[in-house]
Amino acid sequence: MKVIARDVMVKDFDKIRSNAPIEEAVRLIFNGKVRETGQKTASVMVIDRFNRLTGVISMFDVLYHLRPPVLNYMVSGIDFWNEELESYIKRFKGLTVKEVMSSPVLFVAPDDDLMVVIDRMVRKKCRRLPVLESSRVIGIVYLSEVYYHLCKNLLKTELD
């Protein structure tokens, strides 16, 4: 049986516009939807007014931009700052989604074979791949969904 991206994608996901305040994205991630597998989503798709994908914002992006900017140019773990976390949070709150999101975004097509999806995820070390049709997001394939789908079939075969 051939399995394609459409078979394992999640169709219910959060979206946000790039000009939205970052706090709105943080709220969406914090209150993330719980998927069928029990996993909570940790990202939001960023779309334009035509519903086309322009980026993605994840917990990683939020935490990366909450760090002191000096860490982008120095070895991490070295304490060169004296400011409190509140000052970084205040600066962060002034940002828009566009300033924090990751772009460009790797993606797959709905009819891509599951092995193509797995290969892309493994090679690029990504946890999610938007599924695009005519540049519009129609779903998201999560690493955990692929894993549970394969394990369910593997265990089913083992029990037969």
Euclidean distance between CA atoms 46 and 137, whole angstroms: 10
**Would you say 109 and 131 are in contact if contact means Cβ atoms under 8 Å apart?**
yes
Please state whether beta strands 53-58 and 43-47 pair in parallel, antiparallel, or not at all (unpaired). Answer: antiparallel
In tens, the pLDDT along 67-111 reads: 876 666 655 555 555 566 778 888 889 999 999 999 999 999 999
Q: What's the predicted TM-score (pTM) here? A: 0.83
- At residue 82, the 3 state secondary structure works out as coil
Residue 38 has pLDDT above 70, yes or no: yes
Structure tokens belonging to residue 87: 């000052």
Domain 5-159 sits in CATH 3.10.580.10: yes
Worst-scoring range by mean pLDDT, 1-5, 32-36, 84-88? 84-88
